[in-house]
């Protein structure tokens, strides 16, 4: 069974979805540890309550990003994970850190990449007037939010949406697709080839989302 280390900075809702999937048997991995750069991260309490080892490395106590990343890498390597999972880890990682875990470092981003990399994705989607928004699970590369895409989920953007309602709709899908993507990795059902992800997974071509779509009258 493969093992993973999860990095968080806050409440860790995606971390919790991964832990739930492990507990239910839907995700066949061992969560070796949860690490955070913030001692006040609520997700640490959640992980500890599940019996998962936790550790804090406060980035403010390091001279620079390279020093912090080196210390974080050392802490990760103590657990010898097969995969490092970013779940709301709010740090831009150095190239050296990313290259150290090339092909085994994944992230989930709240947009349909390559659209809206970076912050404030829901606000920007609303400002641009897109009709479809969503989330993306991808391998991490030195280019911010531009790594090879593993899995995406799309949701409609509805008239009357604000950042909160749209974020909630996307987050529901994040909690579904992140455990699935990690499962495919754990089961060796995906691989990187020439900068793209290829699958040994049966694919279904029936999933079409049209937005907006009016409800039929009763």
Helix (H, G, I), strand (E, B) or coil at 190: strand
CA pair distance 54, 68, nearest whole angstrom: 17
CA pair distance 93, 46, nearest whole angstrom: 24
- 20, 7, 15: which is closest to 57 by C-alpha? 7
Instruction: Point out the catalytic residue in the list 59, 109, 138, 175.
Output: 109
Residue 83 tokens read as: 């995969």
Adjacency order of strands within the sheet including 54-56? 54-56, 29-36, 2-8, 83-86, 105-109, 132-139, 149-156
Q: Are 137 and 94 in contact (CB under 8 A)?
A: no
- 47, 73, 52, 76: which is closest to 62 by C-alpha? 73
- 102, 81, 68: which is closest to 33 by C-alpha? 81
Helix (H, G, I), strand (E, B) or coil at 129: coil
Is 109 annotated as catalytic?
Answer: yes
Alpha helices in the chain, H assignment, sequence order: 13-24, 42-49, 65-77, 95-100, 121-128, 163-186
Active-site residue set: 109
């Amino acid at each position: 069974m493969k093992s993973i280390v999860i990095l968080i900075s806050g409440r860790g809702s995606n971390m919790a979805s991964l832990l739930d999937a492990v507990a239910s048997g839907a995700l066949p991995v061992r969560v070796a540890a949860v690490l955070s750069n913030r001692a006040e991260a609520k997700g640490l309490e959640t992980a500890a309550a599940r019996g998962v080892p936790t550790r804090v490395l406060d980035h403010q106590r390091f001279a620079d990003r390279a020093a912090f990343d080196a210390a974080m890498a050392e802490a990760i390597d103590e657990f010898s994970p097969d995969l490092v999972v970013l779940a709301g880890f709010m740090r831009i990682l150095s190239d050296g850190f990313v290259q150290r875990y090339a092909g085994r470092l994944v992230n989930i981003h709240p947009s349909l990449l390559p659209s809206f990399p970076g912050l404030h994705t829901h606000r920007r989607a609303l400002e641009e007037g897109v009709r479809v928004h969503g989330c993306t699970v991808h391998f991490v590369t030195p280019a911010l939010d531009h790594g090879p895409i593993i899995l995406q989920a799309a949701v409609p953007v509805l008239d009357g949406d604000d950042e909160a309602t749209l974020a909630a709709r996307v987050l529901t899908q994040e909690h579904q697709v992140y455990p699935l993507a990690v499962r495919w990795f754990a089961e060796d059902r995906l691989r990187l080839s020439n900068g793209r992800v290829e699958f040994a997974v049966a694919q279904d071509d029936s999933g079409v989302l049209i937005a907006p779509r009016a409800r039929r009258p009763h």
